[in-house]
């Protein structure tokens, strides 16, 4: 009989969490800070240039994410897919900043696509290295260690930016991403994994499986509503991550060094908050935990927009930044266990593909919405932040109809 029990050794858990450290470094250094500022401030680009590049990469993930998740389920393996997407992301990240703005935007689209696709397989590994009893704590450990990666990114920027420039930071980030990802490739063991084969039949079968997954979504109570709600809060969170570096420098008037210190403060709060969120999720469940997170996001978004709109002191950001870090850590600590609670273990890869897809759909719509409000309508970035607030309120309303009580899944489900 195949042994499908979780491989929950301490080494496997730490190795899995180190990948969170690796990919969060990419998210912080490339998506949130240095590539965004390279496009806008160094190369004279606009919010539209950067926003649409993000939207295109997310659209590609949107189209392929369910199929990728189904393929990994069919192969009964995540690690080979994770290795391929990670190495491709590292390769393209290393060459960011080489050539013109348009060339680097294309490179960024590919690198970000590979980064986001890798999260499908990484998130699905949570079920491999944890149990229902400790999943909240293990997920929170990954999130917390992930934000250590952001802290490393911030410190490396403060130390190296003046010496090697943003293009040098891109290369350093690529190398560090690979180094910290390797333990996950080596030490996370997937029990019951079959031979790894991908061919035309696999692709066709995975496409068919994706259609079945969408149909199956309605079978499990609360799942469709959760996924719809996730579109709205992920839209707000991911868009804020993309534009925060630009917002703090160009709207609030902080320097590059100050921005990195401010975001490092947010990261420290995320690290400390993530471990607390792990206990909260295991104690009160993912639904109540996510509700608390969404309330906190409402406070953060009101504060961020109020500073320029109401001419509040810019130093208010030193209060808002830690709150945003706590909210960000709580988002991922709560919503991955939320999904795991709602679907049977045998379909976890498929539905993490759908989970990723709806998040990426949000990440297509979010940057476009930001560009529409800030650039096309000319209302400015603070009003665009208020647009994100509306999305969070809608998400909270939708999610109140979801029941997250533990399920007892039969063997055949």
pLDDT of residue 413: 56
Per-residue tokens: 90: 């590292």
pLDDT of residue 410: 59
> How many residues are listed for the chain in this entry?
413
Per-residue tokens: 408: 């007892």
Distance CA 119, CA 112 (A): 11
Query: The whole model's pTM is what?
Result: 0.76
Please name which of 377, 154, 346, 410 lies closest in space to residue 269, comparing C-alpha atoms. Answer: 154
Burial 257-269 (b: 16+ CB within 10 A, else e): eebbbbbbbbbbb
**Residue with tokens 């000319």, as numbered in its chain:** 378
Using N-to-C axis directions, what is the helix angle for 223-250 and 317-342, rounded to 10°? Answer: 160
- C-alpha torsion sign, points 349, 354, 358, 363: positive
Domains and CATH numbers, the chain: 10-189+207-399 (1.20.1250.20)
pLDDT of residue 113: 93
Distance CA 339, CA 323 (A): 25
DSSP reduced 3-state for 377: coil
pLDDT of residue 144: 74
Q: Which helix (H) or strand (E) holds 309?
A: helix 286-309
Distance CA 393, CA 368 (A): 19
pLDDT along the chain (413 residues), means of 10: 55 88 89 89 89 89 75 76 94 93 95 90 80 72 79 86 91 94 88 57 66 76 87 90 88 85 84 82 88 95 93 89 90 84 78 75 84 90 94 93 72 54
Contact 243, 47 (CB under 8 A): yes
pLDDT of residue 3: 46
Using N-to-C axis directions, what is the helix angle for 256-284 and 223-250, rounded to 10°? Answer: 160
Give the Å distances, CA to CA, from 376 to 59, 236, 369, 393.
21, 19, 10, 24
Backbone angles phi, psi at 221, to 5 degrees: -55, 130
């Amino acid at each position: 009989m195949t042994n499908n029990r979780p491989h929950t050794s301490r080494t496997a858990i730490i190795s899995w969490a180190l990948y969170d450290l690796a990919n969060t470094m990419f998210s912080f250094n490339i998506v949130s800070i240095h590539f965004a500022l390279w496009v806008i401030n160094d190369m004279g680009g606009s919010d539209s240039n950067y926003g649409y590049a993000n939207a295109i990469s997310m659209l590609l993930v949107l189209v392929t994410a369910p199929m990728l998740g189904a393929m990994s389920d069919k192969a009964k393996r995540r690690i080979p897919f994770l290795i391929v997407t990670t190495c491709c992301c590292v390769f393209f990240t290393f060459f960011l900043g080489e050539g013109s703005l348009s060339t680097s935007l294309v490179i960024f689209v590919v690198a970000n696509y590979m980064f986001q696709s890798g999260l499908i397989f990484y998130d699905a590994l949570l079920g491999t290295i944890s149990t229902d009893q400790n999943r909240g704590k293990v997920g929170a450990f990954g999130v917390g260690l992930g934000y250590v990666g952001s802290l490393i990114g911030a410190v490396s920027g403060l130390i190296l930016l003046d010496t090697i420039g943003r293009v040098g930071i891109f290369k350093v980030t690529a190398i560090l991403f690979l180094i910290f990802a390797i333990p996950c490739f080596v030490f996370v063991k997937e029990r019951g994994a079959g031979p790894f084969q991908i061919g035309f039949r696999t692709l066709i079968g995975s496409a068919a499986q994706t259609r079945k997954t969408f149909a199956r979504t309605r079978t499990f109570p609360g799942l469709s509503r959760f996924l719809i709600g996730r579109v709205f809060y992920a839209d707000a969170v991911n868009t804020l991550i993309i534009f925060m570096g630009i917002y703090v420098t160009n709207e609030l008037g902080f320097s590059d060094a100050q921005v990195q210190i401010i975001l490092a403060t947010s990261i420290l709060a995320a690290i400390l908050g993530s471990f607390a969120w792990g206990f909260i999720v295991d104690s009160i469940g993912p639904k109540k935990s996510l509700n608390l997170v969404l309330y906190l996001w409402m406070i953060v978004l009101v504060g961020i927009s109020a500073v320029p709109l109401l001419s509040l002191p810019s130093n208010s950001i030193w209060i808002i930044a830690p709150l945003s870090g706590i909210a960000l850590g709580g988002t991922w600590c709560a919503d991955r266990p939320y999904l795991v609670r709602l679907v049977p273990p045998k379909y976890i890869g498929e539905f993490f593909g759908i989970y990723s897809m709806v998040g990426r759909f949000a990440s297509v719509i979010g940057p476009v919405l930001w560009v529409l409000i800030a650039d096309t309508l000319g209302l400015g970035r603070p009003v665009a932040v208020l647009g994100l607030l509306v999305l969070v309120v809608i998400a909270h309303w939708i999610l109140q109809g979801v029941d997250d009580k533990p399920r007892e899944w039969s063997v055949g489900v």
